[in-house]
Amino acid sequence: MASGLRLLSFRCTSCANCCKDLRVPLTAADLRRLVDQTGQMPAEIVEWLPTSEVDLTGEPGSLVVLGQASKRSLMALAQHAAACRFLASDASCGVYEARPASCRLYPFDAAYGRRGGLRRLRLLGGTACDYARDGHNDVHALRQADEQRWAEHRAYLTQVSAWNRSQVHRQRFGRRPLGSPEFLSFLGFSA
């Protein structure tokens, strides 16, 4: 029996505390969905967070070398008035269908067994969440969303790794490292 099954009764009450308190890392796939839905330029959606502002324990591969080879940053969803830039005045998500994969799964953190069954389920912290316990969350839908998130994340890590290698190479040969506009272009976004 999996631990944490009772948490499947989690129901979001739209308090929007997670949209105000947490910073959302982005992948290229997340950014593509947001650009396609909003029509905004990638630079309007992205904010670059220095390593001093993020905790990527176990995930240093998400950090992008920009400017100087020693400067690494995390591509995150930009904020407006100390909240997600897409948080509407009624505390709803203005880009719900295109929201980043991390938002789709929040606050669930699940582990699955070799055959795909749920092994452990817990709720992530990081903010005061006014949730209710009268909801119903489907394990299969959670697993599919988690698998998609990890597939997108692995693809992004491959892109970041290639970019970072090229940045180190540039610097090794005395050339100026490239910045965030060039990284977004490298990901396939036009300026």
Contact 79, 85 (CB under 8 A): yes
Give the span between the Cα atoms of 50 and 73, in whole angstroms. 5
Residue 52, in any domain of the structure = yes
Q: Would 48 be classed as within a structural domain?
A: yes
Mean pLDDT of all residues belonging to the chain: 91
Q: Given pLDDT bands bounded at 50, 70 and 90, which one contains residue 189? A: very high
Count the helix, strand and coil residues of the chain and give each as a percent rounded to the nearest 5. Answer: 40, 20, 40
Residue 4: its pLDDT value, please?
A: 86
Question: DSSP code of 87?
Answer: B
Kindly report, residue by residue over 104-124, the tens digit of the pLDDT.
Answer: 999 999 999 888 888 999 999
The predicted pLDDT at position 51 comes to: 82
Q: Is residue 64 within 8 Å of residue 164, measured between CB atoms?
A: yes
**Is 191 inside a domain boundary?**
no
Q: Is residue 189 part of a domain?
A: no
The residue segments making up the domain with residue 122 are 5-182
Strand, coil or helix: 99: coil
d(CA 128, CA 130) in angstroms, rounded, equals 7
- Measured between its terminal Cα atoms, the distance across the chain in Å is 51
Question: What is the number of structural domains in the chain?
Answer: 1
- Tell me the per-residue pLDDT of 44-91, one tens digit each, with 9 for 90 and over: 999 999 887 877 666 788 999 998 656 789 999 999 999 999 999 999
Per-residue pLDDT, 107: 94
Domain assignment of residue 98, yes or no: yes
For residue 53, what pLDDT is reported? 80
The count of other CB atoms within 10 Å of the CB of residue 7 is 19
Residue whose entry in the numeric block shows the structure tokens 């947490």? 22
Residue 78 identity (one-letter amino acid): A
Q: How far apart are CA 118 and CA 4, in angstroms?
A: 9
